[in-house]
Amino acid sequence: MTAPHEAGALSQFAPAKINLALHVVGRRADGYHLLDSLVAFATSGDRITVEPAAEDAFTVSGPYAAGVPLDTGNLILRARDALRSRIGPTAFPIRIHLEKNLPIASGIGGGSSDAAATLKALCALWQSDPPQLDLAALGLSLGADVPMCLHAQPARVTGIGDGITPISTLPDLPAVLVNPGVAVSTPAIFKQLTTSDNPHLAPPPDDSAPQTWLDWLANTRNDLQPPAIAVAPIIADVLRHIANTGASFTRMSGSGATCFGLYATKAQADAAAAQLSLDHPQWYVQATLLKGSDSAS
């Protein structure tokens, strides 16, 4: 075990998680909804930095820092405490800094990805063995999205987030993320669902041609999109504005309110983001790349 004074600061990227498709396919007796989702991870996101300290500390910077809770209700601090309880007294005090670049409560897994990045960084700083700690189970105890954010690669995710099957054929997808500045409550969206027993995803394509994937996505859904629009009608406006930039495909991610457009090239995505930012300067607009199976890390 590295002593606190010998360890340096470690940084871990926390990518935005995008639901390319999200089918609600059932509901358990305990109330948890069962999902069948395809997720990918963006080159845009938050960043976690951890370093030894005389006592535990947590600081935040970035454009969305003001909305981050600083108490133990924060998933980052819950992840720290849960991991420390597994490791024991050798888990020395640490300072955690969050660079918060993603909107709060926006359907792109920001809090869950931050927690996953925290677990990874602290395992390295505290020199603990993640497989022995069973980080996936620990992550699931923190939230349904944390295990897939630990994986942080294209995957089909089933159950309540505990079934993760890697996707080997998803190509890189240039994209633009747009959030109108409206925080959407996930429980409120699920309450608006008219049915929880919808069809599963079809098997994902077995080749990496972008058009094949676009055709496949056209036959999928985000079952949370209609109820989210009912709660926050501006989501429909966002989707329309993205479509007007020439996007090949548009959809809301997760429970919203972040929406995305897919484009044929990075140049097209950059141009679309520039136009959307000009037309709607109050919105979060970010050109990014959804990392495919070959480039994910």
Residue 18 one-letter amino acid: I
Active-site residue (options: 17, 100, 120, 291): 17
Active-site residue (options: 36, 46, 145, 223): 145
Distance from C-alpha of 227 to C-alpha of 193, rounded to nearest angstrom: 6
Q: Is the dihedral of CA 88, 49, 135, 140 positive or negative?
A: positive
Query: How big is the CA angle at 73 (ends 177 and 65), to the nearest 5 degrees?
Result: 45
The 3-state DSSP class for residue 52 equals strand
DSSP per-residue string spanning 165-217: EE-S-PPPEEEEEEE-S----HHHHHHT-S-S--PPPPPPPSS--HHHHHHHH
Per DSSP, helices labelled H in 22-109 are 75-87
Told to judge if 17 belongs to the known catalytic residues of this protein, a careful annotator would answer: yes
State the binding site for ATP.
103-113
Are 52 and 94 in contact by the 8 Å Cβ rule? The answer is yes
**Structure tokens, 285:** 């607009």
Instruction: Cite the active site residues.
Output: 17, 145
